[in-house]
């Protein structure tokens, strides 16, 4: 596998990554996808077909809020902001993810 080969996200990790991206502040969907792609050195590429349903789910759970604004290229865009409940959820999901990774690592390292 090449260094920049894209991988499919593990189930349940997209919400975690979106919440983490929004810690930086208000962002629109394209900005979130771009940040994840750049930060992951192009390993994680999130398409609209998974990004926007995830953002809708986060909105319904009260973990983000959304408002319309104008993007850098003068287009109408929906901007998402992390809520206090979203910060708490990020902490919970990150801890759960770390536990899962540690458990998988233990299994893989067992002789």
Structural domain boundaries in the chain: 13-109
Token couple for 14: 């997209």
Largest CA distance in the chain: 57
Asked whether 68 and 79 are in contact (CB, 8 A), the reply is yes
Write down the CATH number for the domain with range 13-109.
1.10.10.10
pLDDT in tens, 18-67: 999 999 999 999 999 999 999 999 998 899 899 999 999 999 999 999 99
Neighbouring-strand partners of residue 68: 78
Q: Which residue has the higher pLDDT, 5 or 86?
A: 86
| Percent share of the chain, pLDDT over 90 | 79
Predicted TM-score (pTM) of the model is 0.88
Question: Which pLDDT value is given to residue 72?
Answer: 86
């Amino acid at each position: 596998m090449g260094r920049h080969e894209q991988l499919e996200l593990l189930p349940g990790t997209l919400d975690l990554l979106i919440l983490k991206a929004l810690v930086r502040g208000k962002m629109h969907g394209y900005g979130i996808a771009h940040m994840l792609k750049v930060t992951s050195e192009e390993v994680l590429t999130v398409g609209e077909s998974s990004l926007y349903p995830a953002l809708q789910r986060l909105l319904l759970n009260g973990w983000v809020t959304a408002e319309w604004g104008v993007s850098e290229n003068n287009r109408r865009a929906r901007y998402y902001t992390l809520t206090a409940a979203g910060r708490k959820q990020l902490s919970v999901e990150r801890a759960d993810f770390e536990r899962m990774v540690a458990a998988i690592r233990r299994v893989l390292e067992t002789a």
